[in-house]
Amino acid sequence: MTAEEARARIPDWDGLDVTFEPLSGGITNHNFIVTVKGKDDLPGGGKYVMRIPGDGTDMFIDREREHHNALAAAKAGVSPQVLYSLEPEMVTVVPFITATTMHPEDLAGHLDHLGKAVDAIHQYHEKAKFVNDLNVFDEIRDYLRMAKDNNAKLPDDIDWMLDLNGQIEAAMKRDAPAPAACHCDLLSENFMLEESGKMWVIDWEYGGMSDPYFDLGDFCVEHPFTEDEERFLLTRYCGCFKENRWARMMLYKLTADLWWSVWAAIQVELSQIDFDYVDYGNNRLARFRTNASRPELKSWLAAV
């Protein structure tokens, strides 16, 4: 679907001056800033963000499920309200937020921004309730089947990686926290900071009820945080530093990189979006190997 085709299916915009501006940053969808002139009482004030799902993303994303989770995140106060949702394509329109999109360098090295991001994560973990369960280890197994079905190229040492991830999965069964509403894709660009200081979280495509420390581990691995910043993050989230939760978060950094590297291998074969999935996946595999070689690994597995 094109932006113009989507615009034609929103009756509130009939007869009005509607313009589109491509919005960069996404790697699975096509995003546009939409300005609607001619009527002052439109929901959203006449400026919006329209997101059109990328071709082939329905292999990974249940758009109906995502819609319900986005509504729950909005109700929890951390995400913009979904104003329009066009079925069956699940094109969505939300109000345009006058805010700064975060980048890795805006969170790493800035404890004030990092603290606001952690507080937002804690808020939706506590207040939102998503419609689906998500087990990241099952997701990896599903992705591996997709990779095989699509002849995706996986690294020569994938068996070793899967063996280590199996050890992590076994460890995670001890002292597991209650599942929480998790985003599971905490790129910096999914955080937006208003001048008022409010931090928004957007894009709930991969969300589900899951281990909250996976969300934190995935968040860490997406950013060049120092260990001190990671310790700050965990302390802010928990209210105090907890060694067992530290181990859990650090191990999930490996699992997150493995998950997204297999995802990237499938995208190489299927995606029509102009993005270097090979480089993306290789960087994650390299980081997995680096973290797997850390001398603390055995102690983390024992401490969870």
Q: What is the pLDDT of residues 228-272, one digit of tens each?
A: 999 999 999 999 999 999 999 999 999 999 999 999 999 999 988
- What's the pLDDT tens digit per position in 102-134? 999 999 999 999 999 999 999 999 999 999 999
- For position 15, what pLDDT does the model report? 87
- List the domains of the chain with CATH numbers: 3-97 (3.30.200.20), 101-303 (3.90.1200.10)
Give the H/E segment covering residue 156. none
Give the helix/strand (H/E) hosting 195. Answer: none
On whether the CB atoms of residues 248 and 220 are closer than 8 A, the answer is no
Q: Write out pLDDT tens, residues 151-171.
A: 999 999 999 999 999 999 999
What is the average pLDDT value for the chain, to the nearest integer? 93
Q: Model-level pTM?
A: 0.90
Query: Residues near 244 by Cβ (< 8 Å), separated by ≥ 6?
Result: 175, 303, 304
Task: Give yes or no for a contact between 131 and 179, defined as CB atoms under 8 angstroms apart.
Answer: no
* C-alpha distances out from residue 80 to 21, 43, 130, 215, 280, Å: 19, 12, 16, 20, 29
Beta strand extents in 135-227 (DSSP E only): 180-182, 191-194, 199-201, 208-210
